[in-house]
Structure 1
Amino acid sequence: MNIAEEVRRYVDSHPFIEEGLCDGIINYLGLARKMQPAIEAQCQAQVKPGAIVMALKRLSPSYYYQVSAGIKNFLARLGQFTVRYDIQNYTYKNSSSLISYQPKIFKEVAKQPGLYYSFSQGLNESTIVCSNKLHNQIAKLFSGEQLLNHKSDLAALTIMLPQDNTEISGIYYFIFKELAWQNINVIEVISTTNEITLVVDEKNLEESFRLVRKLKGN
């Protein structure tokens, strides 16, 4: 039985707890009591909360703690933010005709630079995120397709990322954590190499923007 190892394994599997410990905002005794049943099950013996508290306090800085400063520095270098209102989201079952219609949509979008359109193809379904103004064209063009889901009254927040974003782990965790703690649901995520777009309900856009700006530090 090694209480310290089991405590470390538990904390490693719960990143929110680990971050709270690093920031000093978690009550050790309360956490120990919550962890006690799981630690006892792994150790196959009774373990007192005090022993768990001692193990928690002796934890050396983990990989998460060591890289958190680097991630925060990265977030401070986030680039331009772009906000779009009047966004809709469609999900269709994949078909050959669904793919073949895409050039027609892109041609229409090219005529109006202010329009937003994104097409993401998965194994079994595809998602379209676009401006409200394209609704009639999409409804008509894809009338023969199987519509799996449709959401309106959405907004999109696009964040430009530093070019070294693919070399740093944990970036998206920090962003989604801030939104999750405020009970903001991210409906879709659209990403390219150096930018990420978060699609949320319009009512949550201002708060989402504020939280991401806070991560950047201004």
Structure 2
Amino acid sequence: MTIAEAVRNYVETHPFIEEGLTDGIINYSGLARRIQPLIQEQCTQPVREAAIIMALKRLSPSYYYQVSAGIKKFLNRLGQFTVRYDIHDYTFKNSPGLIGKQGQVFSYVAQHRDLFYSFSQGIHESTVIASRQMHEYIMNMFKREELLAHKGHLAALTIMLPKDNTEISGIYYFIFKELAWQNINVVEVISTTNEFTLVVGEEDVEQSFRLIRRLKGS
């Protein structure tokens, strides 16, 4: 394998390095030093930093923009947005009681269509995200459970995704990067196959909504 081929393969498997290179925020020499051992493993001839730098510079700008252009095209196909206010976030230590009572909670929510409820189980703890109207119900239902954290005054922004979203790499990175640049703190993320929900502070939801709308229209 030639040095140019090895460098191109590396960039193909690290698609957002192209973003830094085209924005001028990644130094060619620094990147070359970092990836030199990896490139050397794939090449039989000795690999010098200068050769890697030359290979990086020879990659065409159109190639560098393929990934971001593909993501932007995908974002143009985002579906309906839904915003819910008065959301609370609870974190409980895992226990048989906590898991076992979820069926009762979901039955309750099914009878009250205006409520929002999400349960995410981790290895040691689980997160409940719910409408403020459920606060007393949740605290009573899980009164014997160990509450690790609780936060209110949140909002949930749900975005419907195109069905091919699992086939496009970098979607979440692109969205989170834009939110971070605007200093928006994402408290929680809820994801299903075709839905993506961001939980943010109520003070950030309007800006988050405008940002996602702008990404969709870009």
What is the TM-score normalised by the length of structure 2? 0.79
Question: C-alpha distance in 1, partners of 2:163/2:3?
Answer: 42
Counterpart of 2:43 in structure 1 is none
Counterpart of 2:163 in structure 1 is 163
Counterpart of 1:205 in structure 2 is 205
> 1:26 corresponds to which letter in structure 2?
G
Counterpart of 2:27 in structure 1 is 31
SS in 1 for 2:186: coil
SS in 2 for 1:26: coil
1:57 aligns with 2:31: no
Counterpart of 2:92 in structure 1 is 92
Mapping 1:136-155, distance limit 5 Å: 136-155=136-155
Question: C-alpha distance in 1, partners of 2:148/2:195?
Answer: 27
- CA distance 1:178–1:15, change in 2 (3 Å): farther
Q: Which runs of 4+ in 1 moved over 4 A?
A: 2-17, 32-43, 51-56, 60-64
> 1:66 corresponds to which letter in structure 2?
Q
SS in 2 for 1:135: helix
Q: Deviations over 1:165-193 (max 9, x none)?
A: 12222221211111122222211111111
Q: Deviations over 1:119-154 (max 9, x none)?
A: 111222111000011111111111111112211111
What is the TM-score normalised by the length of structure 1? 0.79
Counterpart of 1:77 in structure 2 is 77
- CA distance 1:164–1:16, change in 2 (3 Å): closer
- CA distance 1:63–1:151, change in 2 (3 Å): farther
Deviation, structure 1 residue 76? 0.3
Question: C-alpha distance in 1, partners of 2:145/2:162?
Answer: 38
In structure 2, stretches of 5+ residues that fail to align are 41-47
SS in 1 for 2:174: helix
RMSD after superposition: 3.1
Q: Deviations over 1:75-122 (max 9, x none)?
A: 100000000111111111111111221122223222321110011112
- CA distance 1:107–1:47, change in 2 (3 Å): closer
> Greater CA deviation, 31-40 or 173-182?
31-40
- CA distance 1:151–1:62, change in 2 (3 Å): farther
- CA distance 1:8–1:143, change in 2 (3 Å): same
- CA distance 1:79–1:33, change in 2 (3 Å): same
Are the counterparts in 2 of residues 93 and 146 from structure 1 also a CA contact under 8 Å?
yes
Question: C-alpha distance in 2, partners of 1:166/1:7?
Answer: 26
Identity %: 64
> 1:213 corresponds to which letter in structure 2?
R
- Name the count of aligned residue pairs: 211
Q: Deviations over 1:177-210 (max 9, x none)?
A: 1112222221111111111101111111111111
> Greater CA deviation, 124-133 or 161-170?
161-170
